[in-house]
Amino acid sequence: MSTLRRISALSLSVALLGGFAATSVLALDATGLYDTGPAQDASFVRFVNGTDEKVAITNSKNKGKVELSTQGAARVSLFLPIKAGAKLSANVVVGGKTLPLELVAKPSEFITVATVPSGPGAFKTMVLREQPTEFNALRASVAVFNFDANCASAEVNSAGKTDGIFKNATSQAIQRRAVNPIKAQVQWACAGKPLGTALDMGSLQAGERYSIFLLPAKQVSLAVQDELGAGK
């Protein structure tokens, strides 16, 4: 379960939420009795460290900060609520460089922002967006995120096998599938060659969502259980 350590080690400043959180402006009905849902669907953003340096994401509006280390699940932040349609402006600080970041989420969107190397001493951000339509509580939902431009088409296999649980996981793309809640140990492969070490995901839980990352950092792969940050 080491790769599924929860993000307790993650240094996450909840102050960031103040700037990112959806305010859930609710449309009261004409009589003012009560509303039946938010004005727009929920959206979320999370950050992933795909480098060998510490990464900090700061929100200039409220000085909120997310810090990501290079250790296991602490490379990945929670999914933080974000208001759809509103521009999020932040700075990603890594290896002495500052990368400006601007995002606008659509309703129901889950955005993953990875910081990755772009050359010697240089970095860039990569953004993958997903609007999931299935939330099946009887199965586990597993997604793969390939942020490694050096592996244009990867696959994820059961550890020690070539069963292709996920095939053709193209760079800068997401694949997702529902799986039965079983014990899972997986490993990335690129061009048929195993990458990194096998990832022990433990016993997948029904109703939970999981992410398996291929990152260009020295520790090339990572699996985490997704968690939502606080918010309305």
**Residue 37 binding another protein, by CB under 8 A:** yes
Contacts of 178 (CB under 8 A, 6+ apart): 134, 136, 139, 140, 141, 142
Do 147 and 216 meet the contact criterion of CB atoms below 8 Å apart?
yes
Which is closer to another protein, CB of 27 or CB of 191? 27
Q: Show the binding pattern over residues 139-178: x = contacts another protein (CB under 8 A), - = does not.
A: ----------------------------------------
The side-by-side arrangement of strands in the sheet containing 11-12 is 11-12, 64-68, 55-59, 87-94, 97-104
Distances (CA, A) of 8 to 48, 69, 227: 15, 12, 11
113 binds another protein (CB under 8 A): no
Return d(Cα 186, Cα 38) in angstroms, integer.
38
Q: Which stretch in 50-58, 61-69, 126-134, 210-218 sits in contact with another protein by CB under 8 A?
A: 126-134
Reference 173, options 152, 189, 200; nearest CA is: 152
Q: What is the DSSP string of 141-207?
A: EEEEEE--TT-SEEEEEETT----SEEEEETTEEEEEEE-S-EEEEEEEETTEE-S--EEEEE--TT
39 is a site residue for another protein (CB under 8 A): yes
Tokens 């009905």, residue located: 29
Residue number, 40 or 172, with CB nearest to another protein: 40
138 binds another protein (CB under 8 A): yes
User: Using the rule CB under 8 A, is 136 a contact of another protein?
Assistant: yes
228 binds another protein (CB under 8 A): yes
Q: According to CB under 8 A, which one of 3, 7, 19, 43 is a site residue for another protein? A: 43
Of the ranges 118-126, 129-137, 184-192, 196-204, which one interacts with another protein (CB under 8 A)?
A: 129-137
Answer for the pair 131, 198: CB distance below 8 angstroms, yes or no: no
Least separation in angstroms between CB 104 and another protein? 17
Q: Is 119 in the site for another protein (CB under 8 A)?
A: no
- Residue pair 66/14 in contact by the 8 Å Cβ criterion: no
Task: Name the one range near another protein by CB under 8 A: 21-29, 70-78, 116-124, 187-195.
Answer: 21-29
**Interaction between residue 181 and another protein (CB under 8 A):** no
Q: State how far the Cα of 190 lies from the Cα of 201, in Å rounded to an integer.
A: 20
Using the rule CB under 8 A, is 182 a contact of another protein? Answer: no
CB of 103 to another protein, least distance (A): 17
Q: Which residues bind another protein (CB under 8 A)?
A: 26-43, 107-108, 110, 132-138, 206-207, 228
